[in-house]
Structure 1
Amino acid sequence: MQTLLISLETSSPVCSVALHRIADGSLVGQSELRLDKSHSTHLTILIEQLLANTGHQLSDLAAVAVSDGPGSYTGLRIGAASAKGLCFALDVPLVAVSTLKALAAQVMTGTARPKKFLFCPMLDARRMEVYAAVYTHEGQEVVAPTPLVLEADTLAEQLAQHSVLFFGNGAAKFQSLLGEPANAGFLTGIEPSAIAVGQLAVAAFHRQEFQDVAYYEPFYLKEVYTTTPKAK
């Protein structure tokens, strides 16, 4: 019986897979690897092992969810290709979940009195740039996902009016610029997780918010620039 949703998170150096029950959103199991550039060789293995370890098989899947980005261009492509392949093979729908929104959601659930804060996930986009967004405790967008070049006055308007929690692998760069203002809090060790993707995906599944599997592409947020190697 198709009762499960599998979610894939490949937007960061963490390669993560999770299984949730669609009926109630409960977590069945999760696996992850924190090996840089391991997604292409290990994602399929993680999926197979998670299903085997939880006593399930591919035919039990009713949907596939994928972390939609922004994030690592290569990682997102791998996640999207794997998710689409599963959807085509199993004839099940595809759910895409914002990477930043999922990252914020996992922090919200572990924050005491979340109403007091705005939540700002930041993912490293190299140099002094991050992919960022700002959400209320209910997941509403205050600042839509955007590439930000970090400066001392970045998000000054939000910090002037609210207490803001910053987290993700790009937040440390902002902390070094900002110092320690009273309204800013910085959390460490927060990485994208397939568990949070799956939790949001189950809700989206019940709302029937599905992607066109044939034409789906991740939300890269900005163009990818490639260079041609110089001739020797």
Structure 2
Amino acid sequence: MIKALLPIPSICGFTGVECWSHDENRVLSLRLSNFGLEGPFPRGLHDCTSMIALDLSGNRFSGPIPSCIAHDAPHLDLSNNSFSGEIPDSIANMVYLNVLNLEYNQLGGQIPERFNALRRLTAFSVADNLLSGPVPALLRKFPASHFAGNQGLCGAPLDECPGKGRGWVRIIGINNESSIGAAVGFVVGFVAAFYSLHWVVFSTRLRAYGFRV
């Protein structure tokens, strides 16, 4: 019995998938916000080099964000998930990135300094994560609310990073230590001289040929 071959459905017909054209399975954008998806970052997306937008927000994805995602996509939204680990600095290679939303995850470490290369960014947020360290200079143009909820983050537009005046404090500390050392040296020298004087006086009384101090 010969079975009829069913046509393979095009990925372009799936919900949340937009293709460049109906004639080819080249994904233009993938918008899967609030789909109830879970698990690690989908490996198949590594090969979607033609995408210009990736939105996985509002799901239950977990684990690290891979170092190579969406390549040159201008729009990347991974917010409201449970991604953990550090933010990969390879995202800085996405030179056409306009929107980067990583808020409401469990990301730790620092915001990569290489993000200063993302000069096309018009929207950025890492609020409510576990990040620490200074905010890169290029990102300081965004509101403080876009960095809120990270107890370790500092620098404009947030509070000044601790230790900014540490050099001045250190100088004062050294001066204080020097003063204390000098004072201790003076006291020790005075006590030593005092007892030496008494010892000489005592010795002169015992010796007929003693000398006066």
Tell me which interval the TM-score lies in, with the shorter structure as reference length: under 0.3
Question: Of Structure 1 and Structure 2, which has the larger fraction of its residues in strand?
Answer: 1
**Higher RCO, 1 or 2 (CA under 8 Å, sep at least 6)?**
1
TM-score (norm 2): 0.28
TM-score (norm 1): 0.26
